[in-house]
Amino acid sequence: MPRKKGVPLRRSCGTMAVHMALLEKNPAFRARQFRFEQDVARRRTLGVSVAKLKPVTVDVVVNVVYKTDVQNVSDAQIKSQIAVLNRDYSAKNPDRSKAPAPWKGLVTDSRVRFKLAKVRRVHTSKSSFGFDDGVKKASTGGVPPLEPQKYLNLWVCALSGGLLGYAQFPGGPPATDGVVINYRAFGTKGSAEAPFNLGRTATHEVGHYLNLRHIWGDTEDCSGSDYVPDTPNCAGPNYGTPTFPTVTCNNGPNGDMFMNYMDYVDDKAMFMFTAQQVLRMRVALEGPRSGLI
């Protein structure tokens, strides 16, 4: 099928670029990130059973920043995105059954739920935004977050450079806290376009917002880590719809867990979080993101 002009061919997420810039200019953020890793490690040694975690609900503010009518996504499209987040984060997504046999037992309900609290619509003269947080400031054609300590702010807008979205990790500046999603990869209807029309760009980016890393650890030489012990070490991002097993970094016989939400595959090829990813999310929700719950 021919692709419409401007549709990204493969997933691209700006989170690590934003993260590296923030680490550079904000030593306090760097210190908080370091402390967070210590908290996760401590929590892991306690042997917490994620199946016993109490479900928590995160209230969501959706900021629609639009220039054209198609970018002004409908309430129905917004609801379709919230529904996907709830399905994926509770492991009720039907495609979880496609998890390869060795990893079926790792498919985990995050015990995080999402509730739409408010939709804000802002007209802009900007044709598109980058990952410089421009969409989060009025002076650059965007809108600041609404009470980011209390709400998960999602911005929906046109993004340039084939970017599907980006997020800010916990512990960063409130003025830019939240998740940005390309209107062409948001929800499951309206302006959402294949292969990113199953709402999983937000599933991935909210994962970052709750402190999950890309499963390849953001280096392409097997040296990086996502700080999650139940996702295999792997070399780099997987794209499209890979075939199991895809072996890299001596991680055979099962290979890369490319069906994890924190890889770069197409929406229909990702369908699981693991127990240890859920633990990381919980430490974020009880620590730097405790205002949400």
Shortest separation between residue 13's beta carbon and Zn ion, angstroms: 3
Shortest separation between residue 91's beta carbon and Zn ion, angstroms: 20
Number of residues that bind Zn ion (CB under 5 A): 2
Shortest separation between residue 262's beta carbon and Zn ion, angstroms: 7
Q: Give whichever of 13 and 235 is closer to Zn ion, judged by the CB atom.
A: 13
The footprint of Zn ion on residues 93-122 (CB under 5 A) is none
Q: Tell me which stretch binds Zn ion (CB under 5 A): 5-13, 55-63, 77-85, 181-189.
A: 5-13
159 makes contact with Zn ion (CB under 5 A): no
- Pairing state of beta strands 152-157 and 56-66? parallel
Residue nearest to Zn ion (CB): 13
> What totals of helices (H) and strands (E) does the chain contain, helices first?
5, 5
165 close to 13: Cβ distance less than 8 angstroms: yes
- As annotated, the active-site residues are 205
Q: For the chain, give the number of residues.
A: 293
How far does CA 90 lie from the centroid of its chain?
15
Shortest separation between residue 67's beta carbon and Zn ion, angstroms: 25
Q: Give whichever of 171 and 237 is closer to Zn ion, judged by the CB atom.
A: 237
The footprint of Zn ion on residues 8-67 (CB under 5 A) is 13, 15
Q: Give whichever of 18 and 62 is closer to Zn ion, judged by the CB atom.
A: 18
Contacts of 211 by beta carbon, 8 Å cutoff, 6+ apart: 36, 169, 170, 280, 281, 283, 284, 288
The CA distance from 31 to 23, in Å, is 9
SS3 per residue for 180-245? EEEHHHCCCCCCCCCCCCCCHHHHHHHHHHCCCCCCCCCCCCCCCCCCCCCCCCCCCCCCCCCCCC
Q: Give whichever of 66 and 129 is closer to Zn ion, judged by the CB atom.
A: 129
Shortest separation between residue 217's beta carbon and Zn ion, angstroms: 12
Residues at the contact surface with Zn ion, assessed by CB under 5 A: 13, 15
